[in-house]
Amino acid sequence: MIVVEDVCTALFDQLPVSVIDGKNYKVRFGWGSQDTLNLHIKQNGQTLNKYPLIWLVESEEKVYGASDNELVRDCTFIIAVNSKHATNTNPIIWQTEFNPVLNPLAENIITAFDGSGITQIMTQGDLRYRLTRYSNYSAFESTNDGKKTVSKTIDNWNVIILTMTVNFTQQPSCIQQINFN
């Protein structure tokens, strides 16, 4: 049986480190609900490497083949760094966090799925993936009447939300060495 979280863990173990403020940080990966995400952030504390973070949102898997050897999943990844610029405007946030950290990390995730030898990003017409950038993502949530309320997340992020449909065909032990250059 193919387990998406195991495949993603093995894929993301190959990701290059992210450079934030001149320091190298290994990318962290987790998955689950918002409550699980908050628990992850809380358990890792303020002083440990909790970012950059790739978080896989829970979703349904579609399994094909008599031997469970092919699985398709609509994957939504929250790619996050802790926002150091909650009071700055987007040009500063883009220059300091999106351009040097988040955009390259999103590109590397796409490269990982393309180059693994066991995964394939599926196209739907001309659409290959969706990407949305948010600055100060979890500072507030809007209600139906347009009022803002305090977010349920316990940290303030700048994020890219990457959504794609992925075909998984083999176990993580079959992953090829991925070239990120």
Q: Domain span at residue 68?
A: 4-174
Domain assignment present for 179: no
E-strand ranges in the chain read 18-20, 23-25, 28-32, 53-57, 61-64, 70-82, 119-122, 130-134, 140-142, 148-150, 157-168
Domain assignment present for 60: yes
Q: What is the C-alpha separation between 94 and 158, in angstroms, rounded?
A: 9
Domain assignment present for 165: yes
**Tens-digit pLDDT string for the chain (181 aa):** 889 999 999 999 999 999 888 889 999 999 998 778 778 777 776 555 667 999 999 988 888 776 677 889 999 999 988 877 666 677 888 888 899 999 999 999 999 999 999 999 999 899 999 999 988 776 445 555 656 555 555 667 888 999 999 999 988 888 999 999 8
Domain assignment present for 55: yes
Domain assignment present for 21: yes
Rounded to two decimals, the pTM is 0.86
DSSP-assigned letter for residue 91: H
Domain assignment present for 82: yes
Domain assignment present for 30: yes
Domain assignment present for 180: no
Domain count of the fold of the chain: 1
